[in-house]
Amino acid sequence: MFHSLTHCLALRPNFFTKIAATASLAFLFICTGNLAAAAQTYAGTNTGAIADGLSGTPPQCGAPRNINFAVSSFNNPIAAVSLNFTLTHTYIGDLQVSLIAPGGTTVSVFSRVGANSAGDFGDNANLGGTYTFADSATQNIWTVAASNNTNAFVIPAGSYRTQAPGPFPTDSPGPAFTSLNATFAAVPANGSWTLRFLDCAAVDTGTVSAANLILTPVAGPTAADASITGRVRTWTGAGVNGAKVTLSGGAASATSVLTNAFGYFIFPAVESGQTYVLSVSSKRYSFAEPVQVVTVNENVAGVDFQALQ
């Protein structure tokens, strides 16, 4: 399979360091410019009331409030992701909130805060203000919610870390932080992102009046450089974690990366104007087309490998 596309960052192996951590990949670029370029903000559409949950032992979720962000002309890999929304809602324990990328990759923002067991209703703290979620934040929304047990308590507006879903045995610090940056680092940015709100218990309700998605690209490419991104997946469409993708040819030495938990990989600094060979290998899978040839004249996306059944 041949791809002929055009430009943007250089496979100079000494110009970047690859960091692999558990099931995610992140990259550090040592360039003449800054690590990240200017952030781009996308306003959400379809704000409004969150449908009330159903009666019975939670979670009994109502219809989702899906807020959409249309991202286009985002040509570089993602360096950082954050979001903010203005929300009023009684009883935070009712809510499940997640951010979903165009390909389906999902991060829990927070979910069932204060629920310590499967049928627990969770914390009774309220929401009223603008809340920002970013990897750079230090506040823990589970801890803040647990700090005051009165029905009138409103969680202060501010910046918080995203966290794995409840239930969790203890209220503070609650479940582990999730990472927006690491999860979405190798995910193609263009398309429709979704911020999903679910109310999963009856009576308490709320409304989202505004939301923004902020994407920061990797530092702007030089005139001679580009990136290659793709995905390794099974025949059912699930991502293959830990597959080895090797890039060779062109003017550089061969280099390899591992796919992240969702099967995505990225070669972020590849010299343009060259033809490269990409090959894939996995301890668990074999591939009908384990080798692809790519001519790089600009950023190349969608170089996918599919495993045999």
Mean pLDDT of 170-196: 96
Q: Which phi and psi (to 5°) does residue 10 adopt?
A: -140, 130
> Is residue 304 within 8 Å of 231, Cβ to Cβ?
yes
Q: Which of 41, 40, 61 is nearest to 50 (CA)?
A: 61
How does DSSP assign 108-170, residue by residue? EEEESTT--STT------EEEEEEEEETT--B-HHHHHHT--STT-EEPSEEE--B--S--S-
Q: What is the pLDDT of residues 59-104, one digit of tens each?
A: 999 999 999 999 998 988 899 999 999 999 999 999 999 999 999 9
> In this predicted structure, what is the pLDDT of residue 36?
55
- Say what the pLDDT of residue 273 is: 83
Helix (H) or strand (E) holding 20: strand 16-21
At 298, the pLDDT band (50, 70, 90 cuts) reads confident
**What's the rounded mean pLDDT across residues 119-139?**
97
Q: Tell me if 245 sits within 8 A of 232, measured CB to CB.
A: yes
**pLDDT, position 24:** 35
Distance CA 63, CA 298 (A): 42
Residue 197's beta-bridge partner residues? 65, 97
pTM: 0.66
Express the helix, strand and coil content of the chain in percent, nearest 5 each: 5, 50, 45
Q: What is the pLDDT of residue 224?
A: 58
Buried/exposed 27-48: b ≥16 CB within 10 Å, e otherwise = bebebeeeebeeeeebebeebe
> Tell me, what's the pLDDT at 71?
97
Task: Tell me the sheet residues that pair with 133.
Answer: 83, 160
- 236 against 75, higher pLDDT: 236
Q: Which residues contact 152 (CB under 8 A, 6 or more apart)?
A: 126
Q: How far apart are CA 206 and CA 159, in angstroms?
A: 20
Percent of the chain with pLDDT over 90: 76
Mean pLDDT of 106-117: 98
Do 200 and 64 touch, CB atoms closer than 8 A?
no
Domains of the chain: 2-19+222-306 (2.60.40.10), 40-217 (2.60.120.260)
Mean pLDDT of 32-61: 86
Residue with tokens 């501010």: 158
Mean pLDDT score of the chain, rounded to an integer?
Answer: 87
Alpha helix (H) ranges present in the chain?
Answer: 141-146, 180-184
CB 53 within 8 A of CB 60: yes
Using alpha carbons only, how large is the chain's radius of gyration in Å? 21
Residue 150, C-beta contacts closer than 8 angstroms, at least 6 positions apart: none
Listed range (32-36, 86-90, 107-111, 228-232) with the worst mean pLDDT: 32-36
Q: Which of 82-96, 121-135, 210-224, 289-303 has the lowest mean pLDDT?
A: 210-224
